[in-house]
Amino acid sequence: MTSESQKVAIVTGSSRGIGRATAERLASDGFAVVVNYAGNEAKARDAVAAIESNGGRAIAVQGDVSKQDDVSRLFSTAKETFGRIDVVVNSAGTLPMAKISTENLEAFDQVIATNLRGTYLVLAQAAEHLDAGGRIIAFSSSVLGKSFPAYGPYIASKAGVEGLVRVLANELRGRDITVNAVAPGPVATEMFLDGKSDELIEQIAKQAPMERLGQPQDIASAVSFLAGTDGAWVNAQIIRVNGGFV
């Protein structure tokens, strides 16, 4: 059990990449953290160990965000363990490269299930469990502004996420709970780098005026702002954290 004054954050998809950086940053900000993972228990436990080694508190909870029962169990476990939930960050996501073709319908269904249905389920549980002062943070993507070939299913899922964020902010009117999304540009994670040549990675990195890929910590810093006291007046926004990748 946490102390009554310690706030608690759930971060989905936080065994690696942006999610893990976010979990570690929120822990350093003073939150007790629920590290959610879909399948890689070893990496989730590594994330918990890293947080605990720096004096933080964390637990790992398995759950597929596309499954209603798993998401319900994630929230109930967080509440049972720590007694409260203050911040929910939905970082879980998948990025299959697939052109718009009937041959790729399975890939489309997969990314919609994880990225859009998953966001819907996590946001719904967050709306049910958070009290005044709560923060809900989803993930979109700056690639929405690019319309690259083979990103159709992914972009469709993230466009849906942006719509859900704005609607939920209105549905929570009067409850003092903010709902926002962070939309990263290209970030040097396993998910982004997978299947890309060095030449393509270099080409993408040069597109932003900062001429580099983002790092997971760059995105975690933006989440930290939205989750902290300084982000209290930011609501129903899509924050594009991308080094000028527009």
Per-residue pLDDT reduced to its tens digit, 188-212: 998 888 888 999 999 989 999 999 9
pLDDT on residue 192: 84
Tens digits of residue pLDDT in 71-85: 999 999 999 999 999
Amino acid at 36: N
Q: Taking the alpha carbons of 233, 88, 23, 111 in that order, is the dihedral positive or negative?
A: negative
pLDDT on residue 3: 61
For β-strands 58-62 and 8-12, DSSP reports them as: unpaired
Q: Rounded to the nearest 10 degrees, what angle do helices 216-227 and 17-28 cross at?
A: 50
Q: How far apart are CA 241 and CA 215, in angstroms?
A: 11
pLDDT on residue 129: 98
- Of these residues, 37, 120, 151, 154, which one is catalytic? 154
pLDDT on residue 5: 84
pLDDT at 28 over 70: yes
Q: 182 by DSSP, 3-state: which? A: strand
Q: Rounded to the nearest 10 degrees, what angle do helices 68-82 and 118-129 cross at?
A: 30
**Average pLDDT in the chain:** 96
Confidence grade of residue 94 (pLDDT, cut at 50, 70, 90): very high
| Domains of the chain by residue range | 8-185+215-240
Q: How far apart are CA 146 and CA 126, in angstroms?
A: 30
Q: Of 89, 69, 116, which is closest to residue 21 (Cα–Cα)? A: 89
Buried b (16+ CB within 10 A) or exposed e, 135-169: bbbbbbbbbbeeeeeebbbbbbbbebbbebbbebb
pTM of the model: 0.96
Q: How far apart are CA 45 and CA 87, in angstroms?
A: 21
Residue 154 falls in the annotated catalytic set:
yes
pLDDT on residue 196: 87
Topology of domain 8-185+215-240, CATH: Rossmann fold (3.40.50)
pLDDT at 1 over 70: no
